[in-house]
Amino acid sequence: MLHQLPLPFKLQASFTFENFIPSDNQLVVDALSDPSEPFIFLWGSQGSGKTHLLQACCLSQAQLGKTASYLPLKELLDLSPAILEGMAGVDLVCIDDIELAFGSADWEEALFNLFNQIRQAQGRLIVASNASPQHAHIGLNDLKSRLSSGLPLDLKPLSDSSTISALQVRAQQLGLELNHDVANYLITHFPRDLPNLWRIIDELDHASLSAQRKLTIPFLKSALSNNG
């Protein structure tokens, strides 16, 4: 049974290590799966799978009988950074989109304090960003130093074949049959970041159920005619 998360951000049950298509990122997945690594700074482009991996870390940690908290900063920035107080009591804290806090003195100080508290409590911290700490616009030098001290992991974009595999896994979870030709049409005619492609798969799922049609390229063109 999963431990109650300190903040009510629901984890996607499908965001597991087993469902992640590693492609050229197997070493990244292996490092994130290692519960002995105390601090990891993960970065990659939008849609490369950072959120998937952070939530997979939380789910894996909870399955070990430990507490975990997933904190998406894009949903937290309108709140006071005081919400981070007490997080050091959690076994694993995963912070998504941490770059959104850079440039805010209050948030940078709160993150700096959280880092020190987690380290003192011998907990684990994993953060995800769109750029490495060396290229991030961090105002507080002490925070930049702390964020540069962990294990740096560069998440590489998926290859075409791996993207197709990821789409087919997602479709299979929904009970859809997505053949290679249809999947290849998707990645060559639509923005290929996974969140966008998964949204399209969800739309196709609804359209297919409504029309009682299989996923073919002509049906896909008709169903998504307003998205191309």
Torsion angle defined by CA atoms of residues 95, 62, 51 and 25, in that order, rounded to the nearest 10 degrees: 110
Residue range 123-159, pLDDT digits in tens: 999 999 999 999 999 999 999 999 999 999 999 988 8
- Residues contacting 118, CB < 8 A, separation 6+: 39, 87, 88, 93, 124, 125
Lowest mean pLDDT among 12-16, 48-52, 142-146, 152-156: 12-16
Instruction: Supply the pLDDT for residue 14.
Output: 81
Task: Name all domains of the chain by residue range, CATH numbers in brackets.
Answer: 26-154 (3.40.50.300), 160-223 (1.10.8.60)
Average pLDDT for 167-184:
89
Rounded to the nearest angstrom, the gap between the alpha carbon of residue 174 and the centroid of all alpha carbons in its chain is 20
Instruction: Supply the pLDDT for residue 5.
Output: 42
Q: Is the pLDDT of residue 3 over 60?
A: no
3-state secondary structure of 155: coil
Alpha helices in 34-88 (DSSP H): 50-63
Q: Where residue 226 falls among pLDDT bands split at 50, 70, 90?
A: low
CA distance 156 to 144: 23
CA distance 54 to 16: 9
Residue range 66-119, pLDDT digits in tens: 999 999 999 999 899 999 998 999 999 999 999 999 999 999 999 999 999 999
Average pLDDT for 203-220:
89
Residue 202 tokens read as 């969800």
Q: Is the pLDDT of residue 228 over 60?
A: no
Q: Is the pLDDT of residue 218 over 60?
A: yes
Instruction: Supply the pLDDT for residue 25.
Output: 94
